[in-house]
A and B are shown apart, each in its own frame.
Chain A
Amino acid sequence: MSLESLGWQGLVILVVFGVSLLIATYCTYAERVIAAFLQDRVGPDRAGPFGLAQPLADAVKLFTKEEFFPSGANKALFIFGPCLAMITALMSSAVIPFGSFLKFGTTIVHLQGIEINVGMLYVFGIVSLGVYGIMIGGWASNNKFSLLGAIRAASQNISYELAMGLALIAVLMMSGSLSLRDITLQQSVPGEWQFWNIVKQPLGFIIFIVCAFAETNRTPFDLPECETELVGGYHTEYSSMKMGLYLFAEYVNVFVASAVMSVIYFGGFNFPFQYELRGWLSSSQGLSLDAAQNIVAILGVVSVFAKIFAFIFFFMWVRWTLPRFRYDQLMRLGWTILIPLAIFNILLTGGLITTGIIPEIKHWW
């Protein structure tokens, strides 16, 4: 890799980082607006036009609040907890392909932080580490409600990780690759009909999205911070920006979960007729092949973000529609319904691949 393309890659990584933070910031605004819409209220409209400066006002409020350390708290771990939650949330966006590639002369810029051979396992590993921030913070607070929240978070994440992994295995059996870029490219083949994975894996997608709600601690599975039972759950004792980091990490997680679902099940940066559009732009519009590719790549970025925003909206829609589960119902759903269903899905996928109903993958690129 030349120095120039390395510099471009660094720029892409910075942009991905910035965009994750920006989206998480405006998720706090979007959540309130959507809540207000669903409950027939007005919502935040005072700070700036349409209340768009509300996240900034929130940040100022959180930063200027009193920093409070509970007595008997383990101070180092109390500070470390929210940091860890934020770090693990931000790490997983590194391998998500946000676009195909841009070409300037001889320089090719892949619109992805890093492309690794085991991208899916990387995301899975980081997701499984996400619970440490909550556990450490909850334990270090020296408060029984925090500890109960932390313990709920731990057992919930471990239980739902299993079903999530089993749902991904079915996708893996079809794709034959752990690289998220490969999985995206397989979902659209030039010159022939190719469906997104959602058509081939409807059951797997339903299992995956339920697990994604549980892994990001969103309603109806937000038991770790259930305020009717546990005051505030694992962040009961937190104040100021440390509290803000926990809330923020949740939105970054929602963004990453939406991105993973768009990439694995909804074609990622592919959109219908993209190769036809590229051919049309370069043949009858007189653009060079590179320019046509760049336009299609940018439209691909638009399409992947449209899918991500649709999923983020879905997360919020569900939050303001469904009531919270009871804890034993949550565990029962994970262990006795989702895991057997996921194993059945693997068997089904294996059968369909063996009988040739799901065609073999093509490494066309």
Chain B
Amino acid sequence: MSLFLFLSFVALLSALGVVLAKNPVHSVLFLILTFFTLSAHYLMLNAQFLAAVNIIVYAGAIMVLFLFVIMFLNLNEDTEPHKPALAQIAATIAGGSLLLIMVAALHNVQPVGYDPATFDSQVGMVDRLGMVLFKQYSLPFELASILLLAAMVGSVMLGKRETGERNF
């Protein structure tokens, strides 16, 4: 329980850091820390596969690209555009009402406990997840994989050198 509280504390703190940091690079680094704490939460739920994939995909690949782009843009406090007051007020109201809806939807929720007699400790393991994906959800899974493969083939095609094109 204390580990959960600590992780949640770090997660919330680093998530706030993403929004409040003045430097975009610091924001990205806070976001990576947030992903790590989320992965730790997955581990506490015994979902090893999800934790590892979360690190590989989000922290390892997507955030590297974020950092990459932000480093190229050379954003800092001087170049930050100052938004008009109207936009700021509108954003505050929109964000606040989203928070209100979340709180309203969740404040009555009873935490679902588990029954120790029927609890399956293997539920988040790789082989169990594979069984579910390939038996229960095989069509959506295959469709998603075709989508990803198409994206990858597309990127390779874009990178291919046309005939007569210069080397660089």
A-side residues, CB < 8 A to B, are 74, 77, 116-118, 121-122, 124-125, 128-129, 131-132, 135-136, 139, 147, 150-151, 154-155, 157-158, 161-162, 178, 326, 328, 331-332, 335-336, 339-340
Contacts and interface: CB of A to CB of B under 8 A. Distances in A.
B161 A332 contact: yes
A124 B68 CA distance: 20
B67 A336 contact: no
B68 A154 contact: yes
Given A139-B71, A335-B156, 9 more contacts: A117-B125, A118-B48, A125-B52, A128-B64, A131-B64, A151-B72, A155-B68, A158-B65, A328-B167
Q: Chain B interface secondary structure, helix, strand, loop or mixed?
A: helix
A339 B156 CA distance: 9
B161 A128 contact: no
Contacts of A162: 152
Contact of A328 (B67, B68, B125, B168): B168
Nearest to A329: B167
A118 B52 contact: yes
7 contacts: A77-B29, A117-B48, A121-B52, A125-B56, A129-B59, A151-B71, A154-B64
A117 B126 contact: yes
A121 B160 contact: no
A116 B43 CA distance: 12
Nearest to B50: A118
Interface in B114-168: 125-126, 152, 155-156, 159-161, 167-168
B18 interface: no
Contact of B159 (A132, A151, A178, A336): A336
Interface string B58-81: 011100110110011000000000
Interface string B7-23: 00000000000000001
Contacts of B45: none
A336 B160 contact: yes
A331 B159 CA distance: 9
Scoring B32, B60, B68 by chain A CB atoms within 10 A of each residue's CB, the highest score goes to: B60
